[in-house]
């Protein structure tokens, strides 16, 4: 079966979180700063595209960023806890579509989307992930999809922001040969300088070097890796390094509705799907949430945290119904999509069994 790997990257994550929290910043250059212990010093953690148009870049010193800024530029001190919270919500949505996730940073992850139906099914999953992240959290992300980590990472850079770029097996050579050697994973400025001295600046030119020559230049491990990478070969596996923090399911209603009976019917099905997912990973949970998407695509979330873990489907349905009724009492808005989310997991000490679950 053809391996299919995606690299998901949340666009200018810290800055996008700040725009989400303060919409009045939209259209202005926004620079998020990671300060140091010295006053008025620090480095740029990230910035939006308006700031990048001023040639401000991640990793740049605060003093240089200020020199490049204009009168409309907004500098914001990084709020790590807020970004961690938003990241957790993003990965909670990703978990619904993919069980093998390797989180490589707060805003980036590899997903193993290998399946019998091939790229068509994987593209569908990527589109759904992007849709849910933007509709439920207001964040955009860019995804590269290909046959391995290397090409997926390179593909994710092709259509930023809010892009989805696919490179199938037959397209790998034509895709990477035009790239500069600096685009190859692990090949930084110093290594690129060594290659430049050899007259090598593109991946196509890199392919002309024999493996022994690359080993001579970079050592056996890195030289061999660059030889393989120049040919689009990368056998690195997805290292599943995180546990699910939440589980959720969403459903689009047949028509925009304000009928509590219709929504309760959908809610029952969603509760069953979510509860079965939690049983599979052997967890119980304290927090239940209902997610409402309005016809205008506004997202409203109501949550309730209990003192004791929920262990039965009936208890989950009861709490979710209470949350739905609370929303209906407060709002006259119709509902387009409905979702159930459970979180605040702990180990399963034994799901509540029904009478007929016990063997005689």
Write the DSSP string, 288-315.
EEEEEE-TT--EEEEEEEEEEEE-SHHH
CB-CB contact of 334 with 294 (8 Å): yes
One of 108, 124, 157, 171 is an active-site residue; which one?
108
Predicted pLDDT of residue 123: 96
Q: Are strands 74-77 and 108-112 parallel, antiparallel or unpaired?
A: unpaired
Predicted pLDDT of residue 329: 87
> What is the side-by-side strand order in the sheet with 42-47?
42-47, 30-35, 74-77
126: Cα within 13 Å, side-chain hemisphere: 32
Q: What is the mean pLDDT of each run of 10 residues along the chain (360 residues)?
A: 95 95 94 79 91 95 95 95 90 84 93 94 95 92 97 95 96 95 90 94 95 94 95 92 73 87 91 88 87 83 89 92 90 88 72 39
Based on the residue annotation, tell me whether 108 is a catalytic residue of this protein: yes
Predicted pLDDT of residue 163: 96
By C-alpha distance, which of 344, 346, 252, 242 is closest to 297? 252
pTM (two decimals): 0.71
Predicted pLDDT of residue 354: 39
d(CA 354, CA 269): 19
Predicted pLDDT of residue 359: 38
pLDDT tens-digit map of 216-267: 999 999 999 999 999 999 999 998 866 666 788 888 888 898 888 888 999 9
d(CA 129, CA 267): 21
Predicted pLDDT of residue 331: 82
By C-alpha distance, which of 22, 306, 254 is closest to 138? 22
d(CA 1, CA 117): 10
């Amino acid at each position: 079966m053809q391996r299919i790997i995606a690299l998901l990257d949340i666009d200018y994550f810290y800055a996008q979180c700040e725009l989400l929290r303060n919409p009045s910043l939209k259209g202005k250059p926004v620079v998020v700063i990671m300060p140091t212990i010295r006053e008025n010093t620090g480095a740029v953690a990230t910035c939006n595209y308006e700031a990048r148009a001023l040639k401000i870049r991640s990793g740049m010193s605060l003093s240089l960023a200020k020199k490049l800024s204009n009168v409309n530029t907004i500098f914001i001190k990084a709020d790590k806890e807020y970004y961690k919270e938003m990241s957790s919500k993003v990965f909670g949505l990703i978990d619904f579509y993919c069980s093998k996730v390797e989180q490589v940073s707060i805003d980036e992850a590899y997903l193993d989307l290998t399946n019998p139906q091939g790229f068509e099914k994987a593209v569908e999953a990527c589109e759904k992930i992007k849709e849910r992240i933007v509709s439920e959290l207001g964040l955009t992300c860019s995804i590269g999809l290909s046959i391995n980590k290397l090409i997926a990472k390179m593909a994710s850079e092709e259509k930023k922001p809010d892009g989805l770029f696919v490179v199938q097996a037959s397209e790998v050579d034509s895709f990477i040969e035009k790239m500069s050697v600096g685009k190859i994973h692990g090949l930084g400025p110093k290594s690129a300088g060594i290659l430049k001295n050899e007259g090598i600046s593109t991946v196509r030119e890199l392919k002309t070097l024999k493996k022994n020559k690359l080993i001579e230049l970079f050592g056996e491990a890195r030289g061999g890796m660059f030889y393989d990478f120049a040919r689009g070969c990368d056998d690195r596996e997805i290292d599943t390094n995180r546990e699910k923090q939440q589980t959720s399911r969403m459903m689009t209603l047949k028509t925009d509705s304000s009928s509590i009976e219709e929504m309760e019917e959908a809610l029952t099905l969603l509760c069953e799907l979510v509860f079965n997912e939690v049983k599979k990973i052997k967890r119980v949970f304290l927090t239940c949430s209902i997610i409402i998407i309005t016809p205008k695509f506004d997202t409203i979330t109501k949550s309730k945290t209990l003192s004791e873990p929920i262990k039965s489907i009936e208890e989950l349905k009861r709490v979710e119904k209470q949350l739905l009724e609370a929303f209906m009492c407060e709002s006259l808005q119709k509902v387009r999509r409905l979702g159930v989310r459970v979180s605040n997991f702990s180990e399963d000490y034994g799901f509540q069994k029904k009478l007929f679950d016990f063997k005689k």
